Structure 1
Amino acid sequence: MILARTIHVSIKLIPVILALKKDRILWISKEGKNIDEKRFRRNAQRILNTCISLGPVFIKFGQWLSSRADILPQPYLEELSKLQDSVPAVPFEKVRPIIERDIGKIEEKFDDLDQNSLSGASLGQVHRATKNGQQVIVKVRRPGIEKQVERDLKVLMKIIPFAMKFVDPNLRFSIIPIMKQFDESIHEEMDYSKESENLKKIKKNMEPYDNVVIPEVHDDYSTKNVLTMEYIPGIKVTNIEELDKKGIDRQKLVIDVHKVFFTMLLRHSIFHADPHPGNISVRDDGTLILYDFGMIGRLNNETRLRLVRLYLALVEKNPPRTVNAMDELGMLAPDFNREVIERGIDMSIKSMYGKKPDEMEVEALMTLANKTMSKFPFKLPKHLALYLRMSTIIEGIYHTHKVDFKFIKVLRQILEEESLIKDAYIEEIKHSFKRFAKTLDDTLTIAPELKKFMDENRIMQQKNKRGSNTLLSGSILSGAVFFGSAFLFQSNETLGIIGIIASAAIMGIFVASRNR
């Protein structure tokens, strides 16, 4: 059975893998410029359709890939972010036994339960019901989904590492951890008790904010296979016609979406990682409603503060600090070219503030980049993958509404309102102190060599008294310049090297003058 499924999946995937390999090579070689974007999107759409045709695990994997900027070109990410988890529901008689086994006879537990599903997803489906006079939704896991998931995970683990190695040999090291993380994620999504925990944590974190509501969980009607929640109806966040009928301020709506999700990210350790339009609705008063907490992201405090530092550096238009934060987040390769990245960040900042960089400046930067590296050395640590997915999907909501919106202004508001600027500055001071300590340590390592240099000169002076005062003065001046340059080298390599060369030149001049 596994063999037959593996062959079937392989036949489906071969055409899209071949197209991805070609597109990825082109994307990297051209740095994403002057490409046939329509072709890229068409090929991405083929991957999306293939995932849908192969079933639940592949739909989830397609969603997962939409967060991997280290694997897919940007047009692929944007297209796959549209992959919503919508699958026809199974007949109610197939899920009835699961509900009754876990919480009891439906007729005894509910006033009413609609046998027609409200929506169907790859791992479960949702039904409306009434419990003690209150409207609720009942989310129930698909029958037999565990076996189907285990089978297709085995198939994926056989095919995907080989396929990614074919697309790019460099991916053979990163794809295995990605697959293991996906395995963990899909098993967590199948456990509705985990989703209940995630929902409660995020609900508690977001309680102080009046622009978002999250349903209550009915614990006595919830298990690993069934999740019963408060029913909160609303307008889909991208339904522009209905939103306009209700007089909803769509510019404020887009701002609120960004505020809610980036507040989760930058203030708290857990965030909703699947904000596609089907998971966000809007009340008549403009309040956001969040659904489906199966896919969440977690950041430890250290990573969260580094993200805050990154965003503060962008707000303050500081490319060097932005690059420092990116480096500490693990977003840059060890051998990255700081000058190229800083200039790229500088142009990005100008773009975010509404100042379009001069086209000649862009061309000059790209020429410099192509000479120093084959591509900008960005990579994506696993703990930031879901954050990128969240950001990409939210950006799609903004593009749907086409309102006047400046992300950097909203970002500044979030940092100020959440008192995150102080935290970021404290971390920046710690970071600067660590760099200073490392610089001092490196410089002290050089000190014995400097002392040896001075001692050798002193011996030379004792052997040859002529011009000793001149040589001593030269040694002191040269040594001081050398010591200072070694210190400066840690923060500015160019000036440091110039200083070291200058120290040698100074010593040469004094030696020459002594011999006259």
Structure 2
Amino acid sequence: MVFSEKKRNLLRLNEIAGVLIKYGFGSVAGKITNTNTLFLSSSTDGEDEYNGNTNVRIRLVLQELGTTFIKLGQTLSTYPDLIGYDLSVELSKLQESAPIDDYEYIESLIESEFSKSVDDIFDDFEQTPFASASIGQVHKAVISGKNVAVKIQHKNVIKTVKSDIQIMRILAKRLKKVSALKSFNLDGLVDVFEKDMKKELDYNYEAMNMLHLSHLLDDDDIYIPEPYTEYTTDKVLTMEYLNGVSLNTVISASDDKYDKKSIAYQGADSFVKQILIHGFFHADPHPGNIFVICRDRLAFVDFGMVGHLDNELRGNLAKLFILLTEGDAGLITKQLYYMGIIPDNDHLKDIEYEIMNILDKYYGKEFNNVSVILRGIVQDDLLNQFDMQIPRDLMVVIRTLCMIDDVGKALYPEFNTTEVLKPYALKMLLNTAKPKNISNKLTERYIDLQHISKKIPESLNNFFDVFDDGRVRISLEYDGIEALNSIITRIVNEVVLAIIIAALLVGSSLIMLTDGVVTLMGYPVLGFLGFSFSAVLGVILIISIIRSGNYL
């Protein structure tokens, strides 16, 4: 068994080497096979045809190597800071394709998954699929009189992916010898890719993503097909069939057939809301995954790739988006530093100057387009020059926003993502100032402080135990821990009160700017009450500080 696996891996390595040589990467082929590439026979037509474009040749290599390597390329396309913007754009063009499995396999898989025959489950089942990609193919069927789409995983695809990931680990070890790749964490990239593939190979995960997003967008005019969970397993996904056309068809259609402007802004509004408000979003919004139903209503499909953002990252994103629209290079630089994208403050002025140059490129028509400016920052050599690292979650957001901008412009040339993005960013910032959100954050910090204060004696004991030589044992007991805990509690309470006062002042100030509300002495009632309550709390805070004796 082990010998057979080693033989299979060796054959696959030689196959990979042959494809590399075909497209002009003979030196790399020699590294992965530990042999002279002259002894590996393969056509070099691809090298001659694409010799002038390395990025195209890399894409063709991955395309020819099949399912796993296509998916690897799509994953790498979300790391432009690692592989370069031009290559990431090229890899995003990778097309998933696969031979169609015969109906006998489909029939046997359904029976093994559900312990029922196709005829027992479905009223009707079309034997020829209407779509096929690298992982599965899709058949139209009928359940209880309702049209459904049934996605079936290709034969041996899990075995193929596992085998290819083993090969990738071998390649990662051998390619460390290539000087240009020494600084890359190739093993780490394979680990991330393996985790992504495990999700994509489990259709239960995709079904749960559909249910989750459907719940979040319940009040929106976006349609998410319903999954039939009782007829879904890790290898079979049954979902509602959509009667509509893909956005590719809409883009190429005559302008009077669809309201393309409305479709562009409706789609962008949904994706931005998913990103900034919900923190859970469809991360692959290419035109093939967006359908138009009922003339102008949008529906999303293919939920294998989704993004997650925590509250802190969404808040930071909202600030960054607002600063980008304002065009202040200094504040943008500081925000990137606070987000950890700039590793230290040694070159802040240099980075600010480079960002100013990038902003100057888009002065005018494109200056107020966040997606275009973000693309410019990633495309520029700024990231490599100053060792800046964009977290993968943020990179997925940038990639998604750029795709939204491209699709929007294809539908309506005057489309601008910022028109949709800015109101949600402002809403996100206002939400962070709400007393409830502030209270939740401070409660979290308070729990952390209490935990730390209680761990201090134990930690100090452990520290001194290191010096125990067997004859003398040093231990420490801090009797004042309760007093320390009381001090921390009082400080946190005062900080909470101060922040609540600040939040009330900010909220009241915003209310003062609104029109058409009930007024008192010429001022909005809510704003007047907010300022009054802030004043009362401020007096209470001052008295509390004076009574504690902790003031200057």
CA shift, 1:171, in A, is 3.2
Q: Give yes or no for contact 1:63–1:80 (8 Å, CA) kept in 2.
A: yes
Match of 1:129 among 93, 117, 141: 141
1:190–1:20 Cα change, 3 Å: farther
What does 1:32-43 correspond to in 2, within 5 Å?
A: 42-43=53-54
Q: Secondary structure at the match of 2:351?
A: helix
CA shift, 1:143, in A, is 1.7
CA shift, 1:335, in A, is 5.7
2:258 corresponds to 1:251: no
Deviates more, 1:156-165 or 1:129-138: 156-165
Q: Give yes or no for contact 1:112–1:131 (8 Å, CA) kept in 2.
A: yes
Match of 2:401 among 371, 384, 391: 391
2:125 corresponds to 1:113: yes
CA shift, 1:115, in A, is 0.8
Q: Secondary structure at the match of 2:98?
A: coil
- Equivalent residue for 1:267? 277
- Equivalent residue for 1:147? 159
2:351 corresponds to 1:344: no
Q: Give yes or no for contact 1:51–1:62 (8 Å, CA) kept in 2.
A: yes
2:194 corresponds to 1:196: no
Match of 1:318 among 299, 323, 328: 328
Q: Give yes or no for contact 1:238–1:277 (8 Å, CA) kept in 2.
A: yes
1:338–1:140 Cα change, 3 Å: same
Q: Secondary structure at the match of 2:198?
A: helix
CA shift, 1:299, in A, is 2.0
TM-score, with length taken from structure 1: 0.69
Structure of greater relative contact order (alpha carbons < 8 Å, 6+ residues apart): 1
Q: Secondary structure at the match of 1:239?
A: helix
2:18 corresponds to 1:11: yes
Q: Give yes or no for contact 1:118–1:126 (8 Å, CA) kept in 2.
A: yes
1:146–1:183 Cα change, 3 Å: same
Match of 1:176 among 168, 171, 187: 187
Match of 1:420 among 428, 442, 455: 428
What does 1:29-428 correspond to in 2, within 5 Å?
A: 42-103=53-114, 104-160=116-172, 162-163=174-175, 166=178, 168-169=180-181, 171-172=183-184, 174-210=185-221, 212-240=222-250, 243-244=253-254, 247-334=257-344, 337-349=347-359, 354=364, 375-401=385-411, 403-416=413-426, 419-423=427-431
User: Could you tell me how far apart the structure 2 residues matched to 1:19 and 1:379 are?
Assistant: 31
CA shift, 1:227, in A, is 0.8
User: Could you tell me how far apart the structure 1 residues matched to 2:27 and 2:409 are?
Assistant: 25
1:404–1:120 Cα change, 3 Å: same
Q: Secondary structure at the match of 1:344?
A: helix
CA shift, 1:17, in A, is 8.5
- The amino acid of 1:68's aligned partner reads Y
- Equivalent residue for 1:513? none
CA shift, 1:42, in A, is 3.6
Q: Secondary structure at the match of 1:334?
A: coil
Gaps of 5+ in 1: 22-37, 358-365, 435-516
Deviates more, 1:182-191 or 1:284-293: 284-293
> Once the two structures are superposed, what CA deviation does each residue of 1:32-67 show, in whole Å capped at 9, x if it has no partner?
xxxxxx989943222222222111101101111111
- The amino acid of 1:283's aligned partner reads I
CA shift, 1:383, in A, is 2.8
User: Could you tell me how far apart the structure 1 residues matched to 2:255 and 2:224 are?
Assistant: 24
User: Could you tell me how far apart the structure 2 residues matched to 1:393 and 1:373 are?
Assistant: 21
> Once the two structures are superposed, what CA deviation does each residue of 1:456-498 show, in whole Å capped at 9, x if it has no partner?
xxxxxxxxxxxxxxxxxxxxxxxxxxxxxxxxxxxxxxxxxxx
User: Could you tell me how far apart the structure 2 residues matched to 1:310 and 1:41 are?
Assistant: 38
CA shift, 1:400, in A, is 3.4
CA shift, 1:310, in A, is 1.3
Gaps of 5+ in 2: 1-7, 29-48, 368-376, 446-552
Deviates more, 1:228-237 or 1:240-249: 240-249
Q: Give yes or no for contact 1:273–1:297 (8 Å, CA) kept in 2.
A: yes
User: Could you tell me how far apart the structure 2 residues matched to 1:17 and 1:425 are?
Assistant: 57
User: Could you tell me how far apart the structure 2 residues matched to 1:121 and 1:325 are?
Assistant: 41
User: Could you tell me how far apart the structure 2 residues matched to 1:373 and 1:389 are?
Assistant: 16
- Equivalent residue for 2:453? none
Q: Give yes or no for contact 1:199–1:293 (8 Å, CA) kept in 2.
A: yes
User: Could you tell me how far apart the structure 1 residues matched to 2:356 and 2:289 are?
Assistant: 35
CA shift, 1:402, in A, is 5.7
Task: State the superposition RMSD in angstroms.
Answer: 3.4
Q: Give yes or no for contact 1:89–1:119 (8 Å, CA) kept in 2.
A: no
Q: Give yes or no for contact 1:259–1:414 (8 Å, CA) kept in 2.
A: no
Deviates more, 1:161-170 or 1:191-200: 161-170
Number of aligned residue pairs: 400
CA shift, 1:424, in A, is 5.7
CA shift, 1:238, in A, is 2.6
Q: Secondary structure at the match of 1:143?
A: coil
- The amino acid of 1:268's aligned partner reads H
User: Could you tell me how far apart the structure 2 residues matched to 1:40 and 1:251 are?
Assistant: 41
- The amino acid of 2:323's aligned partner reads A
Q: Give yes or no for contact 1:89–1:120 (8 Å, CA) kept in 2.
A: yes
User: Could you tell me how far apart the structure 1 residues matched to 2:262 and 2:182 are?
Assistant: 43
User: Could you tell me how far apart the structure 2 residues matched to 1:304 and 1:235 are?
Assistant: 33
CA shift, 1:274, in A, is 1.6
CA shift, 1:132, in A, is 0.8
Q: Give yes or no for contact 2:19–2:64 (8 Å, CA) kept in 1.
A: no
- The amino acid of 2:80's aligned partner reads A
- The amino acid of 2:68's aligned partner reads V
- The amino acid of 2:12's aligned partner reads R
CA shift, 1:349, in A, is 4.5
1:385–1:119 Cα change, 3 Å: same
CA shift, 1:326, in A, is 2.0
User: Could you tell me how far apart the structure 1 residues matched to 2:89 and 2:331 are?
Assistant: 28
Q: Give yes or no for contact 2:268–2:408 (8 Å, CA) kept in 1.
A: no
TM-score, with length taken from structure 2: 0.65
User: Could you tell me how far apart the structure 2 residues matched to 1:251 and 1:391 are?
Assistant: 17
Q: Secondary structure at the match of 2:129?
A: coil
CA shift, 1:85, in A, is 2.4
CA shift, 1:313, in A, is 1.8
